[in-house]
Structure 1
């Protein structure tokens, strides 16, 4: 057991992970940076860099045996190399974002101030302050104003007699705005954390707690006084709240506001590409949850055009998110339209990209993709392949934050085994599933009813099976619009599967028929 833990820890070595994340251009930049230092090209830290760059698996014994560094010196040398790589990355034009530029200008102004060159320092600070305010970097703007105040106490400008009053008012306004942004960001973070740890609300008690927490913590504000940053945190807070309470129409509303905020002033897409990508993904997820097929297709096409036209800055972070969000939502589109077979081509692409990004993709996102692939195969009627991908999830470790996913993977696994006629293995699958579910807190009624019912199918005569499916369907149907139980159907469309058994039709046909009925009903209401 200790060997396994050691190996995992070694693979998570911060320096090794950082080196493996470097692009070719970043490695070239580091080589040039070390060369400019003069006399360091043969330094130990650079030799260690070149050695780790070629190493496939991190192993301290191999590093020490290379003769580059002794065991006693290794820790210090690694820390020094880590720092030098970060300095090199900071100098790389690709990483020169507004925040780094502002920090740099603030550092320069501080140096000028310390040399007694007050006028030059104030001039630099004034430019940096305008840049900070134009780009909603109000925390740095506040720091700049505070430094301006310090300098003004030693160098009184004659051009503006009310200079001190102006700076005091500006500092107060920025402070109030930063406090509001901090309260909203704290609320957003706490709600998001609660969603990850506990999932959707499951009963009235949990709903009351979330309502009390949200309305008790949301600060007072005047909407017209909010800037980009404050609006973004406000919309995020409302989005997590709506997800928690399963009010998916509100989720759509606030995800829409989130994305529109960026589209109103596209410079923020370049400044905060990760927030923009996440907003698009939540908008697509909300469309999926409320079955807005036309809007979903339109937004997905728009997203793909953004990527193709390079409207979103590409770096190692955004590249990964674009992969995850593009292919998750491409699968969702086939689920929405019940075109499962047409989506099979995505499987090879996704697997290849998972392999390419394996060093940077966390296990949770990988198994989420596996579950969606399993659902795709289930919709196609390829149950053996469905089981193959579900087993990847069931055998995964460290998925404590994805308990719902594990639960429904096991339920779908049971259904797929039943569909395959794998009776010899079905009893063992039942036992494994029950053991897992016993450990789960807050097991839903949908899960309890379904598991009890499907287990009883093994004792039913063949000619009675259809009536039994009808009974199970009627038991579950009443939970379809239940405020707390409906979430079960988001993971797995059990009702459509039961209807496919009752009507002796493929599940894809059942879902397509529902889509046609839904469109007719919508047209009637129009």
Structure 2
């Protein structure tokens, strides 16, 4: 079967907006006169294809020989990027700065050194106004080159000022690089492992967190230094489940953008990620009122052109908004009502297939499976869990483990005890291999083994014993990880009280909301 993901040119054309396609045609006509007929024919053919298939492509473009195709595709790829660059230039500060730097270099090569320096001054001011430190460095590099090779009759202390600016910029870049490296390493640890499983994991994370740069004063730091510093604290707190700390730094992250609104346009993806994490922090702390306020704020932001005119931002916003909407139903105990979201999510997952990484898809599958399980449809839950279990990936081992655990409990709900005897051994081995077994999970496995051999009238005391045991672990930070993925306590209470699990969670939500309003 043809695969859309294997051809970069096809992906690029499919990602173009209508205005970008129209601009490409005008660009080709303007630059070549004839519009470079074969390149345009290739563009049109690829634009009309639902999936990439080289044989069909050659059949639809008889003027193109197979031996020409590779070169034509490479040429078309470059021409599309050039045309989009021209169209999007005013929307992106990076492109504006690049263009002006190019102009300064052209003038310098022409021997027009004073004109080049005047443009470089403007570029430097624009870069400073928009926190673009790497461009300040490039400007300074060219300025120093001109001053050292030519007599420009600049001010007397020009050399000293340039050296001081250069040293300050280099120091800032070192700090930004160090902080962004630490942030990336912590995030990569989470993608591989999920939340901290034990004290050994905590020690590994603490090793990252001992870097002195993380504990220096925030005063005097620039935008990017603060952004990456807050991200480091966010990832560390989230992974180690220190949710109050996580919440505080999510607030700092988003408030940083609100203090400099222009940076929302420049670093939109970082702002979107910050809003997602803030929603996650409200969910983890059950800040229901703030959670709803933040969702409304996020939905209003999504309507802005900076999101609607950028496919990357649109996909990111879809992922995080619908994650929050699912979490809202988990929080409220309205699982059955939340099932109305599933068709739309699946439709978007298909539409954005080429843009979404597998990690995001896995998270959606797990949340949808949890939604069906909470609504009492164990069979449908198993369908989505199988999608995770059968997808061979080397990330989020925690999600892989809990998918198997929920899969096993769903079969327990369906009474598939013969299958469960096999699953118990298989899942236990898998989780042990992944070093993912906590005391809470060991207790669940022990219960399931005993329940096979117990008559119905003896199962209830087993449920009660397990509930008591798990409640005793609920405040242990190294054990709370288990409860983030599966609400074992509500499930056990539903079995003991013989009520649907969503009814139990709904009762808890209503009681918590009443306490908050009374306070």
Q: TM-score, normalised by structure 2?
A: 0.92
After superposition, what is the alpha-carbon deviation per residue over 1:240-280, rounded to whole angstroms, capped at 9, x for unaligned? 11123221211111111000001112111111111100000
Counterpart for residue 514 of structure 1? 508
Runs of 4+ residues over 6 Å off in structure 1: 520-524
Does the 8 Å contact 1:187/1:217 carry over to 2?
no
Q: Alignment partner of 2:19: what SS?
A: helix
Q: 1:168 aligns with which of 163, 169, 185?
A: 163
Q: How many angstroms does 1:61 deviate by? A: 4.0
Q: Alignment partner of 2:210: what SS?
A: helix
After superposition, what is the alpha-carbon deviation per residue over 1:160-217, rounded to whole angstroms, capped at 9, x for unaligned? 2222222221111111111111111111111111222232222223322321222136
Q: 1:247 aligns with which of 242, 247, 256?
A: 242
Q: How many angstroms does 1:323 deviate by? A: 0.8
Counterpart for residue 437 of structure 1? 431
- Shift in CA distance, 48/432, structure 1 to aligned 2, threshold 3 Å: farther
Q: 1:407 aligns with which of 373, 378, 401?
A: 401
- Separation in 2, partners of 1:439, 1:40: 63
- Separation in 1, partners of 2:90, 2:455: 67
Counterpart for residue 505 of structure 1? 499
- Separation in 1, partners of 2:89, 2:410: 48
1:17-416 residue pairs with structure 2 within 5 A? 17-39=11-33, 41-64=35-58, 66-93=61-88, 96-158=91-153, 160-216=155-211, 218=213, 221-308=216-303, 312=307, 314-395=309-390, 397-416=391-410
Count of paired positions: 518
After superposition, what is the alpha-carbon deviation per residue over 1:60-115, rounded to whole angstroms, capped at 9, x for unaligned? 34445654544544333322222111111111137740011001000001001110
- Separation in 1, partners of 2:203, 2:353: 41
After superposing the two structures, state which structure 1 stretch, 450-459 or 157-166, moved more: 157-166
Does the 8 Å contact 2:491/2:501 carry over to 1?
yes
Q: How many angstroms does 1:58 deviate by? A: 2.4
Q: Alignment partner of 1:56: what SS?
A: coil
- Shift in CA distance, 220/342, structure 1 to aligned 2, threshold 3 Å: closer
Q: Alignment partner of 2:282: what SS?
A: helix
Does the 8 Å contact 2:335/2:371 carry over to 1?
yes
Q: CA RMSD in A?
A: 2.5
After superposing the two structures, state which structure 1 stretch, 163-172 or 317-326, moved more: 163-172
- Shift in CA distance, 204/359, structure 1 to aligned 2, threshold 3 Å: closer
Q: Verify: 1:16 aligned to 2:10, yes or no.
A: yes
Q: How many angstroms does 1:157 deviate by? A: 4.2
- Separation in 2, partners of 1:245, 1:79: 47
After superposition, what is the alpha-carbon deviation per residue over 1:279-327, rounded to whole angstroms, capped at 9, x for unaligned? 0001111111222222211211211122245575641001111111111
Does the 8 Å contact 2:329/2:335 carry over to 1?
yes
Q: Which runs of 5+ in 1 are unaligned?
A: none
- Shift in CA distance, 324/409, structure 1 to aligned 2, threshold 3 Å: same
Q: How many angstroms does 1:435 deviate by? A: 5.6
Does the 8 Å contact 1:377/1:386 carry over to 2?
yes
Counterpart for residue 472 of structure 1? 466
- Shift in CA distance, 204/425, structure 1 to aligned 2, threshold 3 Å: closer
Q: Which has the higher contact order (CA 8 A, sep 6+)?
A: 2
Q: 1:449 aligns with which of 443, 451, 454?
A: 443
- Shift in CA distance, 233/200, structure 1 to aligned 2, threshold 3 Å: same
After superposing the two structures, state which structure 1 stretch, 211-220 or 126-135, moved more: 211-220
- Shift in CA distance, 442/389, structure 1 to aligned 2, threshold 3 Å: closer
Does the 8 Å contact 2:89/2:96 carry over to 1?
no
Q: 2:482 aligns with which of 488, 500, 522?
A: 488
After superposition, what is the alpha-carbon deviation per residue over 1:322-370, rounded to whole angstroms, capped at 9, x for unaligned? 1111111011111112122332321222222223222322333223112
Q: How many angstroms does 1:380 deviate by? A: 1.9
Q: How many angstroms does 1:390 deviate by? A: 2.3
- Separation in 1, partners of 2:125, 2:265: 18
After superposing the two structures, state which structure 1 stretch, 144-153 or 115-124, moved more: 144-153
Q: TM-score, normalised by structure 1?
A: 0.91
Does the 8 Å contact 2:326/2:367 carry over to 1?
yes
Q: Alignment partner of 2:476: what SS?
A: coil
Does the 8 Å contact 1:269/1:312 carry over to 2?
no
- Separation in 1, partners of 2:34, 2:64: 16
